[in-house]
């Protein structure tokens, strides 16, 4: 047995320290330092407090604390074009010399020349052909390496920074806050699943199995006495619009209690989330900051936001103004 003798003063110090502890905790650092104090920040903190307060009316047990995040325009920049589209154009340019037949196809010629507008001239069908040519025919692992290598070297023209540096600091803080409060967060993106998996773990702290996205068909075969999975140039799931609730049900198997999006492509996901019973949270990032980022909504070809914006008040979705709600946009 160990016996110690505490002087009276030491004892008093101990008691005082114990009394001070709750106050110190209440003054713990702001979990959302890049958010301006205001209705959006308060709504977010109130929601998190409500669903994590044991015994409270809004309490949700940790396994059911599922949050879903769109990626393009919600977690990182999507203008002037989706980052994955810029990757596709770079790949087409790189592969063009070995595919002389492409020269006769206007969208391929445009893509190889870095002409974004021309590459998109044939709409979705044309884009899917470009995407297949640029991204299929390899294994998921090989493709992920290609994407990671590109992301490590490519630079956005406006900021001259890697695309992975153009993620939104305020949203990184939301991800960290939810992680600390027992949530499980998923990315639910219209983008290709392997493209996002190539950086999501490092940049967002979201492991590959918590990324849901659009997919190419995978064929299972053999090569060199091993099982080889090959990505075929055929999209077999579009995780956008009405596809998002399907992707969520299929992959997560549980209705989220919080959803974060920025465009009409997230309208179904926001609805599916907030139409569930009990306390729910829907948030839309609105791009209204031309100076620090971009300003676009109804008329944009990328990240069009109209219906979700119009219905936000009635549906109780919180619309974040990047200009006034966010003190900063990017990490240092």
At closest approach, how far in Å is the CB of 207 from its own copies?
A: 6
**Residue number, 79 or 263, with CB nearest to its own copies:** 263
2 lies in the binding site for its own copies (CB under 8 A): yes
DSSP codes of every residue in 282-331: EEEEE-B-TTTS-B-STT-SSS--SHHHHHHHHHT-EEEEHHHHBS-SS-
How far is residue 85's CA from residue 186's CA, in Å, rounded to a whole number?
22
Tokens 């959302």, located at residue = 32
Distances (CA, A) of 185 to 18, 92, 274: 35, 33, 16
Taking the alpha carbons at both ends of the chain, their separation in whole angstroms is 53
Q: Supply the DSSP symbol for 198.
A: H
The interface region with its own copies, picked from 23-31, 110-118, 200-208, 302-310 by CB under 8 A, is: 200-208
Query: Applying CB under 8 A, which of residues 110, 146, 166, 211 lies at the interface with its own copies?
Result: 211
160 lies in the binding site for its own copies (CB under 8 A): no
Query: Angle formed by the axes of helices 83-95 and 140-153, to 10°?
Result: 100
Query: What residues numbered 62-121 form the site for its own copies, per CB under 8 A?
Result: 63, 66
21 lies in the binding site for its own copies (CB under 8 A): no
How far is residue 262's CA from residue 267's CA, in Å, rounded to a whole number?
9
The C-alpha angle with vertex 157 and arms to 106 and 160, in degrees rounded to 5, equals 150
**Residue number, 245 or 265, with CB nearest to its own copies:** 245
Query: Applying CB under 8 A, which of residues 31, 80, 137, 208 lies at the interface with its own copies?
Result: 208
Query: What residues numbered 229-268 form the site for its own copies, per CB under 8 A?
Result: 229, 242-243, 245-246, 249-255, 268
How far is residue 263's CA from residue 60's CA, in Å, rounded to a whole number?
28
Query: Applying CB under 8 A, which of residues 147, 174, 193, 319 lies at the interface with its own copies?
Result: 193
DSSP codes of every residue in 56-84: STT---GGG-EEEE--BTTTB---SS-HH
Query: Applying CB under 8 A, which of residues 40, 65, 91, 197 lies at the interface with its own copies?
Result: 197
Query: Applying CB under 8 A, which of residues 4, 27, 28, 160 lies at the interface with its own copies?
Result: 4
How far is residue 114's CA from residue 106's CA, in Å, rounded to a whole number?
12
How far is residue 124's CA from residue 134's CA, in Å, rounded to a whole number?
15
**How many CB atoms are closer than 10 A to CB 145?**
14
1 lies in the binding site for its own copies (CB under 8 A): yes
Report how many residues bind its own copies under the rule CB under 8 A: 47
The interface region with its own copies, picked from 19-27, 89-97, 204-212, 323-331 by CB under 8 A, is: 204-212
Q: Are strands 211-223 and 226-237 parallel, antiparallel or unpaired?
A: antiparallel
218 lies in the binding site for its own copies (CB under 8 A): yes
**Residue number, 171 or 270, with CB nearest to its own copies:** 270
20 lies in the binding site for its own copies (CB under 8 A): no
At closest approach, how far in Å is the CB of 168 from its own copies?
A: 23
**Residue number, 63 or 101, with CB nearest to its own copies:** 63
Query: Applying CB under 8 A, which of residues 141, 149, 232, 310 lies at the interface with its own copies?
Result: 141
CA dihedral over 138, 144, 149, 150, signed as positive or negative? positive
Instruction: Please give the residue ranges that form the binding site for its own copies (CB under 8 A).
Output: 1-7, 10, 13-14, 63, 66, 140-141, 144, 184, 186, 193-194, 197, 201, 207-211, 215, 218, 220, 226-227, 229, 242-243, 245-246, 249-255, 268, 271-272, 275
């Amino acid at each position: 047995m160990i016996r110690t003798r505490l002087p009276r003063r030491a004892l008093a110090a101990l008691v005082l320290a114990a009394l001070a502890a709750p106050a110190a905790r209440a003054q713990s650092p702001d979990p959302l330092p890049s958010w301006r104090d205001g209705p959006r920040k308060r709504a977010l903190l109130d929601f998190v407090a409500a669903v994590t307060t044991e015994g409270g009316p809004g309490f949700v047990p940790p396994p059911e604390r599922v949050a879903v995040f769109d990626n393009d325009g919600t977690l990182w920049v999507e203008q002037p074009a989706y980052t994955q589209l810029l990757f596709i154009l770079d790949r087409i340019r790189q592969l063009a010399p070995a595919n002389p037949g492409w020269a006769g196809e206007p969208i391929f010629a445009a893509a190889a020349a870095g002409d974004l507008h021309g590459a998109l001239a044939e709409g979705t069908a044309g884009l899917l052909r470009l995407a297949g040519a640029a991204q299929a025919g390899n294994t998921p692992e090989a493709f992920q390496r290609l994407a990671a290598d590109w992301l490590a070297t490519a630079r956005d023209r406006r900021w001259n920074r890697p695309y992975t540096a153009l993620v939104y600091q305020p949203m990184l803080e939301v991800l960290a806050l939810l992680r600390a409060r027992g949530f499980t967060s998923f990315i639910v993106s219209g983008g290709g699943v392997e493209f996002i998996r190539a950086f999501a773990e490092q940049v967002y702290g979201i492991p590959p199995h918590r990324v849901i996205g659009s997919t190419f068909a995978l064929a299972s075969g053999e090569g060199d006495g091993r099982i080889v999975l090959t990505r075929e140039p055929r999209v077999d799931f579009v995780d956008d619009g009405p596809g998002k609730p399907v992707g969520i049900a299929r992959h997560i198997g549980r209705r989220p209690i919080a959803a974060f999006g920025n465009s009409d492509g997230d309208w179904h996901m926001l609805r599916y989330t907030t139409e569930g019973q009990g306390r729910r949270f829907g948030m839309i990032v609105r791009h209204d900051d031309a100076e620090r980022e971009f300003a676009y909504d109804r008329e944009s070809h990328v990240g069009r936001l109209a219906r979700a914006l119009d219905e936000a008040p009635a549906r109780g979705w919180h619309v974040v103004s990047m200009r006034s709600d966010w003190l900063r946009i990017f990490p240092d």
